[in-house]
Chains A and B, each alone.
Chain A
Amino acid sequence: MFGEGLAKGLKYTLKSLAKKEVTYSYPEETLQMPDRFRGIQKFYPEKCIVCNKCVNVCPTDCITLSGKPNPDPDKRGKIIETYDINFEICILCDLCTEVCPTEAVVMTNNFELAEYSRDELYKDLQWLDENDTNIRKENKV
């Protein structure tokens, strides 16, 4: 009969009127991300051994770093001096965390990083070290 499909559609929307809404009231209630979510990185300068694996594996070449020989004469190897991530081209793919042997660079769950000027998007070692909220617990497989 003509109109039956229309009537069923109307019934569906009327029933939805009574259902609870599925939206969040955003700035007051934020969306909780699961643990594995890939947000901006957190860097531990004391754990880094300057192996350059993260620089080699980054698909967009957004990590640049430089190291200096360890000032402590007993220990060998290098320690990290500068570590920059160009957040304009970082695609948050998580490959750097996957290859790092000491878990010096790990992802956090922070993704709300809009800024008013492009200069702030070039994250340096100090910012990455201070970025220590919502750090991911499970980092390597």
Chain B
Amino acid sequence: MHELLMSPPSWLHALIFFVAGAVLLAIVLGFVTYAILADRKVIGYMQLRIGPNRVGGRFGLLQTVADVLKLLMKEDTIPEKADKSLYVIAPAIAFIPAFAVLAVIPFSAHLQFADIGVGLLYYMSVSGITTIGILTGSWASNNKYALIGGMRAVAQMISYEIPLVMSVIGIILMTGSLNLVDIVMEQQQLAFFIMQPLGFIIFIISGIAELSRTPFDLPEAESELVAGYHTEYSGFRWAFFMLSEYVYMFGMAALTTVLFLGGWLPIPGLGFIPGVIWFSLKFMLVVFFLVWLRATFPRLRADQLMEFAWKVLLPAALANIFITAILKELI
């Protein structure tokens, strides 16, 4: 991939890039389909019941496909007084960054789309564009409840991005580079979740809040009073918002694996298993953890969410930076 990027442009290269991107999109969509099903089934088993088990055989393998087909066949309503162009473009603004950030993630030593020097910074900054999409969507709906819900969701996402970025500064200090491949290589002795435990915890908590999953899922809660930012979106447009959430889950889990769990590096002694398999195993562990949290915890209230981000996580992240810097000087 690197040689292709460096060589002079030609139509053949463009075709190769296009096909590679399409393959990644297909893999990601396949992941989303089965992640939604796994979410429902694992939560079901934790609640002493089986999840979907009728559509597509005993394990409900075609359940998500059936759901998406239903959403495609729904009527495409646009509210009359809504801002039409913004309304239509908002789901796209929400989804495109979700997919674009996957370009920098190294899936194994040889599988990466773009090995740029500032990979981590690219991820953090592009993922922030989604909040514009959500704000556009809630504004364009011309619905006061959607607007309030959208503002709450955006406030939550912005507040939690700050601890998210600051918690990885400890890793950057230890590695000396923003390049994701370098960060993975640095973990050959010991993975970063052992060397930076506080940073790991802060990253996981902020990541869950960024994804709007329980216990931070106020934007999507049905039993709270004000409906969310996607109230007026029905059918496939709503599916786009949900899709962007699950693709972000893919991205966040992949990023966690790369930053803290050692990427594609094997546990010492089992090096004969290819790196992609190790990556997938660690990735699935992170996704399982996210689902496990969703099954167990209640939801935080809106003001408690904000308080928690600014009063607890941010000072902890700052403390982490200082401690890392001091320890790096002393050791």
Q: Is there a chain A Cβ closer than 8 Å to B145's Cβ?
A: no
Tell me which of B48, B292, B293, B296 contacts A22 (CB under 8 A): B48
B50-A23 in contact (CB<8A): yes
Contact with A along B20-52 (1 / 0, CB 8 A): 000000000000000000000010111111100
The answer to the question of A10 belonging to the interface, with a C-beta cut-off of 8 Å to chain B, is yes
Closest chain A CB from B101 CB (angstroms): 29
Q: Is A1 an interface residue (CB 8 A)?
A: no
B123 → chain A closest CB, angstroms: 28
Please determine whether B296 and A10 come into contact, CB atoms closer than 8 angstroms.
Answer: yes
Q: How far is the CA of A68 from the CA of B296 in the complex (A)?
A: 66
Q: Which residues of B contact A19 (CB under 8 A)?
A: 48
Number of A positions contacting B (CB below 8 A): 14
| Chain A residue contacts of B42, Cβ below 8 A | 17
A25 to chain B, nearest CB (A): 8
Interface flag for A113 (CB, 8 Å): no
Residues of B close to A22: CB separation below 8 A: 48-49
Residues on the B chain within 8 Å of A23, using CB:
48-50
* CA of A118 to CA of B85, assembled, Å: 49
Question: What's the interface size class on B, roughly?
Answer: 10 to 19
| B297 in the interface (beta carbon within 8 A) | yes
Interface presence of B295 (CB below 8 A): yes
B48 touches A6 (CB 8 A): no
Q: Is A114 part of the contact surface with B, judged by Cβ < 8 Å?
A: no
Question: Which parts of B176-216 form the interface with A (CB within 8 Å)?
Answer: none
Residue of B nearest to A14 (CB): B292
Main SS at interface, chain A: helix
**How far is it, in angstroms, between the C-alpha of A9 and the C-alpha of B46 when the chains are bound?**
12
Q: Does A13 contact B (CB under 8 A)?
A: yes
- Bound CA–CA A89/B298 (angstroms): 41
Contact B292 A16 (CB under 8 A): no
B8 to chain A, nearest CB (A): 54
Q: Is the CB of B46 within 8 A of A17?
A: yes
For A19, give the chain B residue with the smallest CB separation.
Answer: B48
B48 touches A13 (CB 8 A): no
CA separation between A97 and B149, bound complex, in Å? 57
Q: Which residues of B contact A20 (CB under 8 A)?
A: 48
A6 to B297, CA, bound (A): 8
Other-chain residue from B45, B47, B296 in contact with A9 (beta carbon distance below 8 A): B296
Q: Does A72 contact B (CB under 8 A)?
A: no
Interface assignment of A119: CB less than 8 Å from any CB of chain B? no
Contact of A16 among B47, B53, B293 (CB under 8 A): B47
Measured CB to CB, the closest approach of chain A to B53, in angstroms, equals 8
Q: Assess whether A13 is in contact with B295, with CB atoms less than 8 Å apart.
A: yes
- Which residue of chain A is the closest to B47 with respect to CB atoms? A16
Contact of B297 among A9, A14, A17, A21 (CB under 8 A): A9
Within 8 A of B (CB), among A16-43: 16-17, 19-23, 25
Report Cα–Cα, A17/B42, bound state, in Å. 8
Contact, CB under 8 Å: A21 / B45: yes
Which residues of A47-99 have CB atoms within 8 Å of chain B's CB atoms?
A: none
CA distance A76 to B20 in the complex (A): 94
Cross-chain contact B46 with A16 (CB below 8 angstroms) = yes
Q: How far is the CA of A14 from the CA of B43 in the complex (A)?
A: 10
Residues on the A chain within 8 Å of B296, using CB? 9-10, 12-13
The CA of A41 and the CA of B293, in the complex, are separated in Å by 49
Measured between alpha carbons, how far is A100 from B295 in the docked complex, in Å? 52
- Chain B: which residue is nearest A15 at the CB level? B46
B residues contacting A by CB (< 8 A) are 42, 44-50, 53, 292-293, 295-297
Instruction: Using A16-B46, A17-B45, A23-B49 as known contacts, list a sample of 8 further A-B pairs with CB atoms less than 8 Å apart, ordered by residue number in A.
Output: A13-B292, A13-B295, A13-B296, A14-B46, A17-B42, A17-B46, A21-B48, A22-B48
Residue positions of A touching B, CB distance < 8 A: 6, 9-10, 12-14, 16-17, 19-23, 25
What are 29 pairs between A and B in contact, CB < 8 Å? Answer: A6-B297, A9-B296, A9-B297, A10-B292, A10-B293, A10-B296, A12-B296, A13-B46, A13-B292, A13-B295, A13-B296, A14-B46, A14-B292, A16-B45, A16-B47, A16-B48, A17-B45, A17-B46, A19-B48, A20-B48, A21-B44, A21-B45, A21-B49, A21-B50, A22-B48, A22-B49, A23-B49, A23-B50, A25-B53
